[in-house]
Amino acid sequence: MPQNHPDTPGTDDTTPALTRDALAQAALRVLQRDGLAGLSMRKVAAEVGVKAASLYWHVRNKQELLDLLTDALLGSAEPPPRTGGWREQFHAYCWRYRRLLLDTRDAAKVVAGRLAPGPHLLGLMEDQLDRLRAAGFSDADAAMASYLLGAFVQGFVLQEQSPISAAEVLGTSRRDIADAAGDLFRALPAETFPNLVALADDLTAPDMDARFEFGLQRVLDGLAALLPPEHR
Amino acid sequence: MPQNHPDTPGTDDTTPALTRDALAQAALRVLQRDGLAGLSMRKVAAEVGVKAASLYWHVRNKQELLDLLTDALLGSAEPPPRTGGWREQFHAYCWRYRRLLLDTRDAAKVVAGRLAPGPHLLGLMEDQLDRLRAAGFSDADAAMASYLLGAFVQGFVLQEQSPISAAEVLGTSRRDIADAAGDLFRALPAETFPNLVALADDLTAPDMDARFEFGLQRVLDGLAALLPPEHR
DNA sequence: CATGAGCCCCTAACACTGTTAGGGGTCGGC
DNA sequence: GCCGACCCCTAACAGTGTTAGGGGCTCATG
C-alpha cells in the first residue's frame, strides 16, 4: 500500500486535522451529494481519507455524527437585521430558516431526526428570545412562540420535501407531480368527493413559497393577538 | 420442514388471506413493537408467517409498504362531530390527529417520510375542505388552511417525539430530560445567554399538551382573521 | 536512551438490511 | 393432460452500523 505514508500527513491538501468539526463538514458534503439515505459511515470516512472504524474514535456512533451535522447546518444561519418591528424580523427569520433547510439536501429530515442542542442552536434561541421579549411578549409566551415558530418551519419544509423525494424516485419533476395530482383529484367521483374535485387546482398549486407565506402569516397573526394593542 | 403444509393454509389461526391490507396491519404491529428503525421486511414477513422475499409479490418495495402503513394509520382517524363552530371542530380535529400520531410509535416519522395519497387521506381531506368552505373560507384559503393544519400537527408531533427517542436511548424519562435541560440552561454564562438563563423554566416545561394547545390556538386565531367578522 | 502512555488508524468480523434471480408447487380452465 | 396464473421458497449480492483487537506514531517521564 504505497499511499498515505505516516510521515506525509497530507497526501491530498484537504487533510488539515480531522477534528469533530471536520467530520461534520465532511458529513455535510456527503449529505449534499448523496442524500440522507446515502450518508454512511464508510462514505464519511472516505471523504476524510480514513476507514470507517476510525470514526468511532472521534464519535460515539452515527447519531452523534448526525448531531454534529445538525449543529453545523445551523451554524450557517445568521439572524436577520434587528431593524423594523418584531413581525418583519421573525418573518425574515422563518424565511431564512426555511431557505437554509431547502438549500442542503434532506436537511429537514436531519434536523427533525433528533433534538441536538448544539452551541449554534443555543445562540439562535437566545437571539430569538431576546427579540420576543423586547417586542412585549411575556416570558412564557416568548418561550412558546420560539418553539412554535421552529416547529412550524421545520414541519412545513419536511412536508414540502416529501413529494420531492417521491418525484426523484419516479424521475418526474415537481410540476409533473402537481399536474398528475390535479388530474387525480379531478378524476375522483364527484358525488363522494365534491370538494376535492372542485378545489383540485387550489389543492395542487405547486407554489410552495405562497403556501409557506400563507402559513407564516397565520402564525404571526396568531402571535400578534397575544400582544397588547399598543405593541400591535 | 414439517410445518406449514400447503393443505393446511392456517397453522396458526392468524393467517386469513395475506392481502395488502393484512400486510399493512402486520407492519403496524411490528412498528408498534419495534419502532421504525426495527421495521424490516423480514420481520413483517415473519409476522404474517412468510419469508421476506415473498412480500415482493404483493408490494413493489419497502416504501410502498410504508405507504400502505401510512394509510392504515390514517384509517383509524375518525372526524370529530360536526357540532359547534368551525373553530372547535378543527380544534378537535387537530387534537385527534396529534393523539393518533402519539399513540403508535414513530407514527409521525412514518407519515412524514412520504406523501402517500391513500384513500383514507382523501376522505379526511374531503371532510376538512367541506367544513372549511361551510365556515366561510374562500376556496384558496380552505386549501391552504387544510394543508397548514396538517403540516402544523405533523411537524409539532415530530419535534415533540424527537427527544423521546433520545430519552429512550439514554434510558431516562421525559421529566428527567426536562430537568437536565433546565440545569443546562441555568448553567450557561449569564452574560452571553441572559434570556436562556432567565427563561430556563419556561423553555423546559415538559407539558407538551400545553405547548400544542398554545400553537394550535395561534394558528386558529390566524385563520379566524381571514374570515369576515360575521363568521367570527 | 528506554519505556510506557495516549492517541489515531487499521483489518476482520458480526449480524443485519433491502432486493433480485430463479425455481418450485398448487390451483382453475381448456 | 397441459398451461398459465398465482404464491412462496432458497440463495445470493452489495451494503449497513458497530465492535474487538492490534499496530504504529508521538511525546513525556524515569
Angle at B226 (CA atoms; ends B222, B230), nearest 5 degrees:
115
pLDDT band at A179 (very low <50, low <70, confident <90, very high): confident
Q: What is the mean pLDDT of residues A101-115?
A: 89
Using an 8 Å Cβ cutoff, are A34 and A83 in contact?
no
Asked if A154's CB is within 8 angstroms of B159's CB, the reply is yes
Burial (0-12, 13-18, 19+ Cβ within 10 Å), B179 = middle
Residues of chain B where predicted confidence (pLDDT) is lower than 70: 1-17, 163-175, 232
For A155, the closest of B154, B184, B218 (CB atoms) is B154
CB < 8 Å to A199, chain B: 129, 139, 142-143
Q: What is the mean pLDDT of residues A15-38?
A: 89
Tell me the angle at which helices B62-75 and B119-134 cross, rounded to the nearest 10 degrees.
40
Dist. CA B97–CA A155, nearest whole Å:
15
Flag residues 87-116 of B with CB < 7 Å from strand C. none
pLDDT band at A9 (very low <50, low <70, confident <90, very high): very low
Cell of A94: 422563518
Nucleotides of C under 7 A from a protein CB: 8-13, 16-22, 25-27
Question: Whole-number mean pLDDT of chain A?
Answer: 86
Supply the pLDDT for residue A204. Answer: 85
Tell me the angle at which helices B119-134 and B139-170 cross, rounded to the nearest 10 degrees.
130
Supply the pLDDT for residue A175. Answer: 66
Asked if B143's CB is within 8 angstroms of A205's CB, the reply is yes
Nucleotides of D under 7 A from a protein CB: 7-12, 15-21, 24-26
CB < 8 Å to B184, chain A: 117
CB < 8 Å to A196, chain B: 122, 125-126, 129
Flag residues 7-46 of B with CB < 7 Å from strand D. 18, 45
Q: Residue A3: is its pLDDT beyond 60?
A: no
Supply the pLDDT for residue A174. Answer: 65
Distance from CA of B16 to the nearest CA of A (A): 31
In chain A, the percentage of residues whose pLDDT exceeds 90 is: 68
User: Beta-carbon neighbour count of residue B78 at 10 Å?
Assistant: 10
Q: What is the mean pLDDT of residues A202-208?
A: 87
Q: What is the mean pLDDT of residues A85-102?
A: 96
Mutate to test the interface with B, among A122, A138, A147, A188 (most CBs of B within 10 A): A147
Supply the pLDDT for residue B14. Answer: 43
Higher pLDDT, A141 or A4: A141
Asked if A63's CB is within 8 angstroms of B113's CB, the reply is no
Dist. CA B24–CA A230, nearest whole Å:
55
Residues shown for chain A: 232
CB < 8 Å to B195, chain A: 126, 129-130, 133, 142
Cα dihedral A196, A197, A202, A207 sign: positive
Supply the pLDDT for residue B9. Answer: 36
DSSP codes, A184-203: HHHTS-TTT-HHHHHTHHHH
Asked if B139's CB is within 8 angstroms of A198's CB, the reply is yes
